[in-house]
């Protein structure tokens, strides 16, 4: 992913399908550090750009296990070690009775860790992120090629994006 203060060239499309096709062609042209900016997740864009499957599920799974362990330890330790209290003659470690809270804490950890992982990966929150075009969150679709890409050449990129049907091509100082 391009660093936050590098420039590049952005092409803008008005149709999501054309933008996906163009993204595939940009990739075929040998570019690696390019990205699409779209108002909604466009079907097929990940394959066109070559984005790998998100690894967040592993984070979720790890934290689900941690949550399950934490919920178990909290209940077992408080009920049988810290202050063993006889409630209605039930065993100090009442497995079935502990299941609901073990489950709830597992879900809580898994859900919150997934969202925290999302924020960390997407570097959210961002303060005043650069705006290529304000309509990119409404009805326009952009492909951005970073100036850091090995094959980058401003004229060549402009040509390429225009030939792929971009209605507008912009030089962007900050991405």
Partner 1 sequence: MSTVTRNPLVLGNKSYKDITDDILAPVEAPPGKRWFALFLSAKMLFLFYILHIAYIIATGMGLLGVNHPIGWGTMIITFVFWIGIGHAGTLISAVLFLFRQKWRTSVARSAEAMTVFAVMTAGIFPLIHTGRPWLDFWLLPYPNQRGPLWVNFRSPLLWDVFAVSTYATVSSVFWYVGLVPDFATIRDRAQTKLRKTIYGALSLGWRGSARDWSHYEMVYLLLAGLSTPLVLSVHTIVSFDFAVSMLPGWHTTIFPPYFVAGAIFSGFGMVVTLLTLVRIGFPQFKDYITIDHMEVMNKIIMATGLLVGYAYGSEFFIAWYSGNPYEVYAFTNRAFGPYWWAYWTMITCNVVIPQLFWFRQFRRSIPVMFVVSIFVNIGMWFERFVITVTSLHRDFLPSNWGMYAWSWFDTAILFGSFGMFLTIFMLYLKFVPAISIAEVKPVLYVGKKRPNHGGGH
Residues that bind partner 1 (CB under 8 A): 1, 15, 17, 23, 35-43, 45-46, 49, 51, 53-54, 56-57, 60, 74-75, 78-79, 82-83, 85, 87-88, 90, 94, 97-98, 100-101, 103-105, 107-108, 110-112, 114-115, 117-119, 121-122, 124-129, 131, 134-139
DSSP H helices in 32-136: 45-49, 56-76, 95-121
C-beta of 40: minimal distance to partner 1 in Å?
A: 4
Of 115 and 155, CB closest to partner 1: 115
Q: Give the pair of three-digit tokens for residue 136.
A: 């990119």
From first CA to last CA, the distance across the chain in angstroms is 10
C-beta of 119: minimal distance to partner 1 in Å?
A: 7
11 CA to centre of own chain: 22
Of 36 and 160, CB closest to partner 1: 36
C-beta of 86: minimal distance to partner 1 in Å?
A: 11
CB 23 within 8 A of CB 35: no
Residues in the chain: 175
C-beta of 156: minimal distance to partner 1 in Å?
A: 22
Coil, helix or strand for 95? Answer: helix
C-beta of 164: minimal distance to partner 1 in Å?
A: 16
DSSP letter for 15, please: -
Of 138 and 155, CB closest to partner 1: 138
Q: 117-127: string of b/e by CB count within 10 Å (b at 16+)? A: beeeeeeeeee
């Amino acid at each position: 992913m391009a660093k936050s203060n590098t420039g590049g060239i952005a092409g803008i499309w008005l149709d999501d399908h054309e933008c996906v096709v163009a993204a595939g062609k940009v990739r075929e042209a040998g570019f690696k550090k390019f990205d699409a900016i779209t108002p909604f997740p466009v079907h097929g864009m990940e394959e066109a750009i070559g984005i790998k499957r998100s690894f967040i599920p592993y984070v979720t799974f790890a934290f689900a296990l941690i949550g399950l362990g934490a919920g178990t330890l909290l209940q077992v330790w408080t009920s049988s070690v810290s202050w063993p209290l006889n409630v209605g003659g039930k065993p100090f470690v009442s497995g079935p009775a502990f299941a609901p809270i073990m489950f709830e804490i597992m879900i809580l950890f898994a859900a919150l860790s997934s969202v925290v992982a999302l924020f960390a990966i997407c570097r959210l929150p961002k303060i005043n992120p650069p705006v290529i075009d304000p309509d990119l969150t409404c009805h326009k679709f952009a492909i951005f090629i970073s100036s850091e890409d090995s094959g980058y050449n401003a004229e060549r990129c402009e040509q390429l994006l225009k030939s792929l049907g971009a209605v507008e091509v912009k030089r962007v100082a900050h991405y």
